[in-house]
Structure 1
């Protein structure tokens, strides 16, 4: 969730509080007890029924605290004030946390469900041999279009977004790495390039896109697209799934020339204290029936192949969210870039936004 920009509303916080107990970690007696698990997760990123099931099965109480960006989570873990047992960083953030010595390696002798995960979702560049992480969900960046305005099947490439017939018709998710990445791919470059000329060219390409951009927005993009406010949008697959569940005219496409493939992952931060609970939870979430239930609830793609086989056939066959191998082979995973390069991406993206 990469990049998921989920904003927790007061009502949702209340619901989570009722489902999980306190949304804030118990900083006194709760943290020192042995029968607890402190989970630091994105908002609304696990089926509450699974938390209840885990607690009943194991007797461990789960304290849940939520974050809305990888960077906010990183800062909180780095400060070390709270004893989180598990958190859920995206791909590049696993690399950054590992580099900063904020993660503990997995004890694979205690993991019982490793064989359930597909080889395509393991041993990625951000964590070779999955020394520190288990894949939780994955997805893609792509184009959403409304068939009331766009002919079905006609959108296949990033370059089509620059067509002047789409003037003031496109919404973009507000994400520097993703929108710069889209421009880089459209010019045949890597989403992880550190070449300043290529980055400058990508910004110039985005400025050419400006007349077609109706708005650059965060989480509200889902509501706007579901309400038919724009014919086209660039957003993540899970966000697209949510929009599509509310508007049958919406479709999601991963351009054939490639895109980003992202992963959110379960990791053990160095603040962890409750190791029996941690491995019980990791094994619980690796069980096919639990991972399948979670995937249906969240709407993102599961890396658990055994769970995938339990999903309804309509979901299994949906190439918007489970693309063919030929599409997967063109996808790129974000790498953890140097702070200097991250700032360059952000600065160039901001120049585009200011121009727009």
Structure 2
């Protein structure tokens, strides 16, 4: 089925626009977030060479963009960082006349508060951040809630993402607060909870945390649903849990940073990713959810009905999308530095 989906990408090659042989594009994106076949097909179709650099956190991406000033044509920030970068004047507006496939997107994922009218961003993929557990190692009842991560027997068996927002969201949900909490007293509570948890963490990994689970280096953790999907397909004992306290939902978007040089190429790649066949191939390969409504019919049923990839409406009710934090972001950053350096 995967080969069939990637074959669909080739169908329109003959009618595709042509580009000069020396045109190129510099993409800065999360690790393991774009299949090689997708990039190769785009280059074959357009002649545009894509140079890819990776990061493992929104913070790392933002720092690099601020320091570099130029050098990248496309970046993939999460929704809260789209709002932050828009407010800090770090993004270029999109030319919608070059994005004929934008209408393929579901209305549920466009015109969001972090970027009204999608002036600066194109939705890429969405998903969840929740708990993963190897039931073959720990048993099926060992982890049923966020509170279970604090059990003494999880000491040295735990993996967390190297991502400030996702880690704080776990503690905030445990305490009954929003993942977008800005109350200083509540953030202090979350920080104190995490101070207890951090010494028990075996590893922080946002590149490929599934590897530590598959190798039995760890038995439980907090991961993105795409990582959980791949781990589960290789070892069905590795289960993904939506805890009763709630969990984070997120959406990553593609943006053009200020200083970008290859604007036509950037728009060409954006429009390519918005094609239903390409979006379907992305979701099927990566195990993340597509915001592309026209792509859903092309995604195999076993993926569309897999709750790891596409949670049910009832499960989504316990989720909460991350939003822009405003001035509270500094408190998060200060606490994160303390947690990582103590």
Q: TM-score, normalized by length of structure 2?
A: 0.82
Q: Does 1:323 align with 2:311?
A: yes
Given that 1:256 and 1:327 are in contact with CA atoms closer than 8 Å, whether structure 2 keeps it comes out as no
5+ unaligned residues in a row in structure 1: which ranges? 1-31
Give the match for residue 259 of structure 2: 271
**Residues 1-356 of structure 1 mapped to structure 2, 5 A cutoff:** 35-79=23-67, 82-152=70-140, 155-163=143-151, 166=154, 169-209=157-197, 213-218=200-205, 219=207, 221-338=209-326, 341-349=328-336, 351=338
Following superposition, the deviation at residue 350 of structure 1 comes to: 5.1
Cα distance per residue 1:94-153 (max 9 Å; x no partner) = 112111212122222332222322233223332122221111112211111112244447
CA contact (8 A) 1:140 1:254 kept: no
Secondary structure of residue in 1 paired with 2:180 = coil
Q: Secondary structure at the match of 1:125?
A: coil
Task: Say if 1:134 and 1:266, in contact at 8 Å, map to a contact too.
Answer: yes
In structure 2, distance between residues paired with 1:103 and 1:66: 19
Q: Deviations over 1:216-248 (max 9, x none)?
A: 422464322112233321222122223324322
Q: 1:216 to 1:349 in 2, by over 3 A?
A: farther
Q: Cα deviation per residue 1:297-345 (whole Å; 9 max; x = unaligned)?
A: 3332222222232122111111122111222233223233346x33422
Report how many residues are paired: 322
Q: 2:298 is paired with a residue of what secondary structure?
A: coil
The alignment's C-alpha RMSD in Å is 2.8
Q: Call closer, same or farther: CA 1:47–1:167 in 2, change over 3 Å.
A: closer
What is the CA-CA distance between 1:189 and the residue it aligns to? 0.8
Structure 1 residues 223 and 288: alpha-carbon distance in aligned structure 2, compared to 1, 3 A threshold = same
* Range moving further from structure 2, 114-123 or 187-196: 114-123
Q: Distance in 1 between matches of 2:73 and 2:26?
A: 5
Comparing 194-203 and 71-80, the one that deviates more: 71-80
Distance in 2 between residues matched to 1:173 and 1:65, nearest whole Å:
19
The offset of 1:351, in angstroms, is 4.9
Give the SS at the match of 2:182: coil
On the 8 A contact 2:134/2:219 being kept in 1, the answer is yes
How far apart are the structure 1 equivalents of 2:158 and 2:262? Answer: 47
Single out whichever of 251-260 and 329-338 deviates more from structure 2. Answer: 329-338
SS at match of 1:148: helix
Native 8 Å contact 1:227 1:247 kept in 2: no
Structure 2 CA distance for aligned equivalents of residues 290 and 326 of structure 1: 29
Deviation for aligned residue 1:260:
1.2
- Normalised by the size of structure 1, how large is the TM-score? 0.79
C-alpha distance in 2, partners of 1:295/1:53?
16
The answer to whether the Cα contact below 8 Å between 2:228 and 2:308 also exists between their aligned partners in 1 is no
